[in-house]
Structure 1
Amino acid sequence: MAQLADEILSSLDPQQRSVATALKGPVCVIAGAGTGKTRAITHRLAYGVDIGVIDPKRVLALTFTARAAGEMRTRLRSLGVASIAARTFHAAALKQLIYFWPETLGGRFPSLLTSKTGFLSEAMKRANISSSKKSSLLRDLAGEIEWAKVL
């Protein structure tokens, strides 16, 4: 085992080390919050890259939140593996849509909303809804949309 590989594994507890060294096939890591799942997974990737089992250009690390994806990228960089892509499921799906859209459906990928406020303000204007409390109404509408997304 290379010196760097030893360093990658040295800070892990026995359970995390077993995750990091399980390089054949998929691994399911089930543990509570704050138990070191992200740490074990990022060390698994770094260890695999270091010993030559994992090609970093063929890895996509997925997570649910932008914060977790950022944390994963930071940890991978600190382990010397900046070339592994770490994204949210939504960001990865969007990247695929943008890439394959022209080839599959033709034309440019449609623009996406970056702000609900402008969209809702325009919708209110088109529906002839005016209010002296426009900003609070916009906020309430945006809140209702967020709640509807959860249901």
Structure 2
Amino acid sequence: MNANFTPPPFTAELAAAGVPAKFHEWLGHLGVGALVVKMGIVFGEMAPERMTATMPVEGNTQLVGLLHGGAHLVLADTLGSFASALHAGPTRRPVGIEIGATHHRGIKAGLVTGTATALHLGRTLATHEVVMTDAEGRLLSTARITNMILDA
């Protein structure tokens, strides 16, 4: 390794968020975003067709102690946007244009798993369905996010 080599500034952040090393060169100057870090989101699978991540309930609750509905949307937006970015490639950028969710069940503790599945991967639009479940696999919420893909 070159003695003058300096790793990109967000390499440690990417590793802590579970982003595979094969994406570090591409994302190392971008990171995962401050909100992803604050919410405690950690990625699992990462591909345009299917992406997973977990998020703790603790620290992301609303007034009565349930996971905040907005936290569901943050997880869905994160998964759909990252999956769209992988589909778009390093020379193009996704921009969210629509997101909506249905909340099916509340959760007060534990870990939420989000799974984004591509519904459409086109040249200018990418749409993902994101299903959030608890540790027992029970459905918590379902979201749909559409990203427009723009030239960088």
Task: Give the TM-score of the pair, scaled to structure 1.
Answer: 0.25
Higher helix proportion: 1
Q: Bigger radius of gyration, 1 or 2?
A: 1
Higher strand proportion: 2
Task: Give the TM-score of the pair, scaled to structure 2.
Answer: 0.25
